[in-house]
Amino acid sequence: MNKVYLIGGGATKIGEHWEKSLRDLFVEAALKAVDSAEISLKDIEAVYVGNMSSGELQGQEHLGSLMATWLGIPGVAAAKVEAACASGGVAFHQAYLAVASGLYDCVLVGGVEKMTDAIIYDVTAALIMADDYEYVAFTGASFVGLNAIVYRYYMEKFGVKQEDIALFAVHDHKYAVNNSYAQYQFAVSLERVLESPNVADPIKLFECAPVGDGSAALVLCSEDFAKKLGKDFLVQVAASTVATDTISLTNRRDLATLEATVKAANRAYRIAKISVEDIDVIEVHDAFTILGVLHLEDLGFAEKGQGWKLLKEGELEKNAKIPTNMSGGLKARGHPVGSTGVYQIFDIYLQLIGEAPNQVDSAEIGLAQSVGGVGGTVAINILRRVK
């Protein structure tokens, strides 16, 4: 496999972009990424578009050709990559493979999702498509409902209090304050989280990632291409892995473990030749507070049932043991589903080049975890600063 470098990135602010369409958002992020990489659009040989619900919410598929057209570069190889909420992380994986294989020297990967123009019932219906329609979704289950089952199970099995899990939302909001891309740039108290309305018991409104619009894009290139540009590039993709698990919770060995995270992470650590202790900063896919806690455990930062302690004891803070979601995470940076995975990698990239809004001192290795469904797909991408 050839070495793959990350040489630029850009993103739109996440929010309610009433005046911008799906393509407007993508093009805005893509042009920012191209500018930051200091390359020309003509250098791009392939485009990967991470998106989950354009067909359902905008009546638009074929995003590869659409975005290539609107970027003014028809002719490139292009495709939409869909893996539910992990679409962004998996699109990055495809872009990585495209360069690592040696076929392409310069590839653009972007994630885009536009959720706020649709009626909320349609958004809920689109999101549950991430689970098994015939066996689960048809019962009327919603994503919040499924995560509520996991939440209850976890609290019961490990004797953990909700307030110790809900703290994840407080943590995310605290860091989103400084992130100009974040949907919610304000802090919240634990009381406010716990007093917010029930969505699916025990999950409170303020424990859920919001609905939003946004796009993030990154430029990946080969070592040869990087050399030709004659610049020092800082960030290399140390590992990019994807793993799947049974699509629904019903077939899981343990409701409190996302096996796909465990598998993808262990494989990524082997490829990157690192151990958990080497990682300086992470972005985890906390669509609900409970998931944030599970991810810390499944990624190997804590024993099963102990993840909440890292949160409570301040180990996730900037410059603590494992700085987590310095962007504000899914809860406060936002979660335009198919683009979230790319936002996360962009956030890690900013950490490694020293330009992050909540910069961790001398961050060298960062990890982004992107989860589809209730863990049916997990993408792990590890970046390393090489200069």
Partner 1 sequence: MKPLKKVGIAGYGAYIPMYRIKDEEIARVWGRDVRRTPIQEKSVPGIDEDSLTFSVEAAQNAILRAKVSPQEIEAVYVGSESPPYAVKPTATVVAEALGITPRLIAIDMEFACRAGTTAMQSVMGLVASEMIKYGLAIGTDTAQGRPQDELEYTAASGAAAFILGPHNSENVALIEGSYSYVTDTPDFWRREGEFYPMHSFRFTGEPAYFHHIYHAAIGLMESLGLKNSDFDYVVFHQPNVKFPLKIAKLLGFSADKIKDGLLTGIIGNTYAAASMIGLAAVLDKAKPGERILMVSFGSGAGSDAFSIIVQDAIEEKRNLAPLVEDYIKRKKYVDYATYVRLRRKLRR
Cα(191)–Cα(188) distance, integer angstroms: 8
Residue among 329, 339, 380, 370 at smallest CA distance from 52: 339
Nearer to partner 1, 12 or 370 (CB): 12
Write down the least CB distance from residue 288 to partner 1, Å. Answer: 20
Cα(146)–Cα(248) distance, integer angstroms: 9
Whose tokens are 């393509």? That residue is 23
Nearer to partner 1, 292 or 334 (CB): 334
- Residue tagged active-site, from 85, 106, 208, 221: 85
Write down the least CB distance from residue 145 to partner 1, Å. Answer: 15
Cα(82)–Cα(131) distance, integer angstroms: 13
Query: Residue 221: helix, strand or coil by DSSP?
Result: strand
Cα(319)–Cα(173) distance, integer angstroms: 17
Cα(29)–Cα(132) distance, integer angstroms: 32
Residue among 341, 332, 266 at smallest CA distance from 81: 341
Write down the least CB distance from residue 199 to partner 1, Å. Answer: 12
Residue among 341, 346, 349, 348 at smallest CA distance from 379: 341
Write down the least CB distance from residue 371 to partner 1, Å. Answer: 26
Nearer to partner 1, 205 or 271 (CB): 205
Which residues in this chain contact partner 1 in the complex, by CB under 8 A? 16, 18-19, 116-117, 119-120, 197-198
Nearer to partner 1, 196 or 257 (CB): 196
Per-residue b or e along 24-44, where b marks 16 or more CB atoms closer than 10 Å to that residue's CB:
bbbbbbbebbbebbebeeebb
What are the distances in angstroms from CA 236 to CA 239, 240, 280, 387? 9, 11, 15, 10
Per DSSP, 13 falls in state: P
Beta bridge partners of 15: 213
Cα(382)–Cα(387) distance, integer angstroms: 16
Query: 316 — phi, psi (to 5°)?
Result: -95, 0
Active site residue 208: no
Active site residue 335: yes
Angle ∠(229,235,241) on CA atoms, nearest 5 = 120
Write down the least CB distance from residue 201 to partner 1, Å. Answer: 11
Write down the least CB distance from residue 299 to partner 1, Å. Answer: 34
Q: In angstroms, how far is CA 204 from the centroid of its own chain?
A: 22
Nearer to partner 1, 41 or 120 (CB): 120
- Residue tagged active-site, from 93, 173, 285, 335: 335
Write down the least CB distance from residue 116 to partner 1, Å. Answer: 7
Nearer to partner 1, 115 or 290 (CB): 115
Nearer to partner 1, 9 or 15 (CB): 15
Cα(215)–Cα(130) distance, integer angstroms: 20
Write down the least CB distance from residue 126 to partner 1, Å. Answer: 15
Beta bridge partners of 217: 10, 110
Pair 19, 12: CB distance under 8 Å: no
Nearer to partner 1, 148 or 378 (CB): 148
Per DSSP, 85 falls in state: B
**Residues annotated as catalytic (active site), given as ranges:** 85, 335
